[in-house]
């Protein structure tokens, strides 16, 4: 039966993964369509509210990518973690880059996590916003946390990045399974600024039956 015939006579079904697991291919199904995002990166931090710091990048994604499967087979699904939160050091004007998000995969198909916001070098120049993940030529949804001032995190396929935080200590973590980046954070001399974690990835599998 052709895919078009299945679409006209069948019913679209789906299964969503917000944590790693296994997809069991239903009987009679030979093609599934996969939408997924890698984890978002976390923002950089600095012990200087006058510094320019950067937000984390969004995870790469794919949209309804067709994948050939075998009826009854088990396919491993791995959900990429968001980049871990970062805390600044006690040294004045020392910036710490954010952490990268993890890769999300469905069998052999994968999309990379976003990169963490990058250090600007002792607050002298603009921080570099985290790049989007690059898996399988599917770019992230936005260009990453923008350099300059206290940047927010990049929006992911499934949710928004969080705002940067100047002088308030912490930026918020991106929502779980959003694939978004977290904003950068800065405090004055004394240390303790914390960037939130990036949002973890997500995978949605669809098929006709």
Residue 141 has pLDDT above 70, yes or no: no
**φ, ψ for residue 8, nearest 5 deg:** -75, -35
Cα separation, 86 vs 183, in Å, equals 11
Non-local (6+) Cβ contacts of 9 within 8 A are: none
Kindly report, residue by residue over 36-74, the tens digit of the pLDDT: 999 999 988 887 766 667 888 888 889 899 999 999 999
- The predicted pLDDT at position 44 comes to 86
Q: Kindly report the pTM of this predicted structure.
A: 0.84
For residue 136 the two structure tokens come to 């399988």
Beta strands at 185-186 and 45-46: parallel, antiparallel or unpaired = parallel
For residue 11 the two structure tokens come to 């019913």
Cα separation, 58 vs 199, in Å, equals 9
Best-predicted range by mean pLDDT (4-8, 9-13, 71-75):
71-75
For residue 110 the two structure tokens come to 């994968």
- Hey, how many other C-beta atoms are within 10 angstroms of the C-beta on 79? 23
Kindly report, residue by residue over 180-209, the tens digit of the pLDDT: 988 888 876 666 788 999 999 999 999 998
Contact 47, 119 (CB under 8 A): no
**φ, ψ for residue 143, nearest 5 deg:** -85, 15
């Amino acid at each position: 039966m052709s895919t078009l015939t299945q679409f006209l006579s069948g019913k679209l079904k789906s299964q969503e993964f917000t944590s790693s697991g296994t997809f069991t291919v239903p009987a009679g199904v030979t093609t599934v369509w996969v939408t997924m995002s890698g984890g978002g990166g976390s923002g950089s931090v600095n012990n200087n509210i006058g510094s320019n710091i950067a937000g984390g990048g969004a995870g790469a994604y794919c949209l309804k990518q067709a994948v050939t499967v075998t009826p009854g087979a088990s396919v491993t699904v791995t959900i990429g973690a968001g980049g871990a939160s970062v805390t600044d050091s006690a040294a004045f004007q020392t910036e710490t880059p954010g952490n990268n998000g993890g890769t999300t995969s469905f069998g052999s198909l994968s999309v990379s996590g976003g990169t963490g916001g990058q250090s600007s070098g002792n607050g002298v120049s603009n921080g570099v916003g985290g790049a989007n993940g690059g898996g399988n030529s599917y770019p992230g949804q936005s260009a990453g946390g923008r350099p300059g001032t206290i940047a927010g995190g990049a929006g992911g396929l499934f949710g928004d990045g969080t705002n940067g935080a100047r002088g308030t200590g912490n930026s918020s973590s991106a929502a779980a399974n959003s694939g978004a980046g977290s904003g950068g954070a800065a405090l004055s001399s004394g240390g303790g600024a914390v960037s939130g974690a990036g949002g973890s990835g997500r995978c949605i599998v669809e098929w006709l039956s």
